[in-house]
Amino acid sequence: MIKRDKVVYQIYPKSFKDSNGDGLGDIRGMIEKLDYLQDLGVDYIWSTPFFVSPQNDNGYDVADYYNIDSRYGTMEDVEELISEAKKRNIGLMFDMVFNHTSTEHEWFKKALAGDEKYQNYYIFKDGTPDKVPTNWASKFGGSAWEYIPHLKKWYLHLFDKTQADLNWDNPEVRDELKKVILFWKEKGVVGYRFDVVNLISKPATFEDDDIGDGRRFYTDGPNVHEYLKELVKDTGMEDMMTVGEMSSTSLENCVRYSNPDEGELAMVFNFHHLKVDYKNGDKWTLQAPDYKQLKNLFKTWQLGIQEGNGLNAMFLCNHDQPRAISRFGNDTKYWKESAEMLATLIHMMQGIPYIYQGEELGMTNHGYTTIEQYRDVESLNYYKILMERGMTSDEALHVLNERSRDNGRTPMQWNSDTYAGFSTVEPWIPLPENYKTINAESEFHDETSIYNYYKKLIQIRKNHRAISYGSISFIDNEDDEVIVYVRECEEERIVVIVNLVEDKKELILHENLDLASKIISNYDSNEVNGNILSLKPYECLVIKTR
Ligand code: GLC
């Protein structure tokens, strides 16, 4: 079983550290920064893919699972990364993109050349160009099908058209993927993050979706649990640090994916809490965060996946999300307070916390003003789609500003030098202007910085069994914008109080809180008068009550 006092740090290599002056982050850059990660105190690094790839989706379009894209480095560099990390007690988790391959993968190329064996590696359907097999939509916009005239066939791509979906019903495909796992395990990789892994099992027959974009047919699909069990068993991954990215999933399925008795994965990412600012579930229609929904979702998922029946991966940021501080906090006036509140909120819950590069510094959204600054395939597609839907260019840019994945992909802000110490030349994607003030160098030695607050949170998890292993319960209160929960084990009991918003709040306490037993807070002083706790903007407070 995975130890519960661990913390994972996610690296998006392209934007982490450029070691060779080409404007792109690379593996040697990751090696250079291992001491920084050791100081922070993380136990694992999950790196997003650096395998050979045309980079249409920044490496989530893999053309060769066994080799390193030369833009990122060499196999020797990766081996050194694994061994240098190990010396610092940090384990490496690789990102396995197994729902699809790049259309540049040799399997797909053979399929295109007419080889039936390899056509059966993917999801091809006979047809004519005028009749698409189903009306399903690609997650990046447009149809999920692409026609190949010389084969007179369509192929399925739930993402970009250069990302062809694999046919997991074919045992040969499953065997190929097991070999990939074993290859990297042999090299010393201790865990895997599985990309959109709940989409791998497609239905036996393909039909139009009259009420949606098709996802109800393939999300948590018919054989997904069986395929995961087989993959885990045949590669001996039972005790490894595995996490599945579950797109539009359900709680019931996530319990199965992560229940130790099922032999599937160690833990799951779900995204429901990161849709509370989508109007009617549509990412591209803006709405202010619905805190009532956010609070309910945390409660539902924390209570629904409890120690013993499963495990949540806890996160607010990753390479597909805008920065949480810009989204749920105030990234100027209450920059520090809101960054620390958000961190406390998830780090003190049950599950394994994930920190996304730069989150520990309070890095913000990019603030781009022109479409030329964007790089992400999804953002560029949706810029066009939003204008086709009737928006002006300015309106579409405003939506991208809030929602684009590029918000989370700007270069890591290491110091205040030109290009933020990320590179010596202009980076592949523009930097936010605030790197002069928000950067690792300035925070490292400042005891009161967001960075040092994260360090403390990581240590609290290690030093307090109630936080790593304890049960969780929620204390109901009237206010939708204040969350109160209790973590408890035999030795201790800890209360966590979080004001999610900028408004001041008054919380009626049902027990005595002794501020002398405070473990951490984002304010130096907290105010209790009788049974009333007065909460300042974004205030959070963690107190030991036993
Ligand atoms: C996952 C990845 C994302 C990628 C998509 C397709 O959601 O996190 O970056 O674009 O899968 O592979």
* Bridge partners, residue 521, by sequence: 541
CA dist., res. 450 & res. 446, Å (int): 9
Structure confidence by residue, pLDDT tens digits, 447-478: 999 999 999 999 999 999 999 999 999 999 99
Please check whether residue 46 is in contact with residue 8, taking contact to mean a CB–CB distance below 8 angstroms.
Answer: yes
Instruction: Quote the distance between the C-alpha of residue 215 and its chain's center.
Output: 20
φ, ψ for residue 51 (rounded to 5)? Answer: -80, 165
Give the helix/strand (H/E) hosting 275.
none
Is 186 considered catalytic here? no
State residue 232's pLDDT score: 98
Identity at 301, one-letter amino acid code = W
Residues in the chain: 546
From ligand 1's centre to the CA of 194, what distance in Å?
10
Q: Ligand 1: which atom is nearest the Cα of residue 140?
A: 10
Residue 1 banded pLDDT, cuts 50, 70, 90: confident
Is 245 considered catalytic here? yes
**Atom 5 of ligand 1: nearest residue by CA position:** 60
pLDDT at 218 over 90: yes
Helix ranges, 271-392 (H): 291-304, 324-328, 335-347, 377-388
The percent of residues above 70 in pLDDT, for the chain, comes to 100
**Atom 4 of ligand 1: nearest residue by CA position:** 60
DSSP letter assigned to residue 143:
B
* Bridge partners, residue 520, by sequence: 542
Residue 139 banded pLDDT, cuts 50, 70, 90: very high
Q: Ligand 1: which atom is nearest the Cα of residue 378?
A: 10
From ligand 1's centre to the CA of 197, what distance in Å?
10
Structure confidence by residue, pLDDT tens digits, 356-405: 999 999 999 999 999 999 999 999 999 999 999 999 999 999 999 999 99
Please give the average per-residue pLDDT across 430-444, as a whole number: 97
Specify the residue for token string 């250069």.
162
pLDDT at 348 over 90: yes
State residue 237's pLDDT score: 98
User: Which of the residues 245, 340, 360, 376 is marked catalytic?
Assistant: 245
| Summary mean pLDDT of the chain | 98
Please give the average per-residue pLDDT across 148-176, as a whole number: 98
From ligand 1's centre to the CA of 32, what distance in Å?
26
The rounded radius of gyration (Å) of the Cα atoms in the chain is 23
CA dist., res. 309 & res. 262, Å (int): 10
Q: Ligand 1: which atom is nearest the Cα of residue 61?
A: 12
Structure confidence by residue, pLDDT tens digits, 223-240: 999 999 999 999 999 999
Tokens of 487: 């973590």
User: Which of the residues 195, 337, 360, 376 is marked catalytic?
Assistant: 195
Structure confidence by residue, pLDDT tens digits, 513-527: 999 999 999 999 999
From ligand 1's centre to the CA of 319, what distance in Å?
9
Name every residue whose Cβ is closer than 8 Å to that of residue 137 and which is 6 or more positions away in sequence: 143, 144, 213, 214
State residue 172's pLDDT score: 99
Ligand 1, residues 60, 160, 249, 380: which to mutate, most atoms within 8 A of Cβ?
Answer: 60
Tokens of 91: 């384990």
Q: Ligand 1: which atom is nearest the Cα of residue 405?
A: 9
State residue 2's pLDDT score: 93
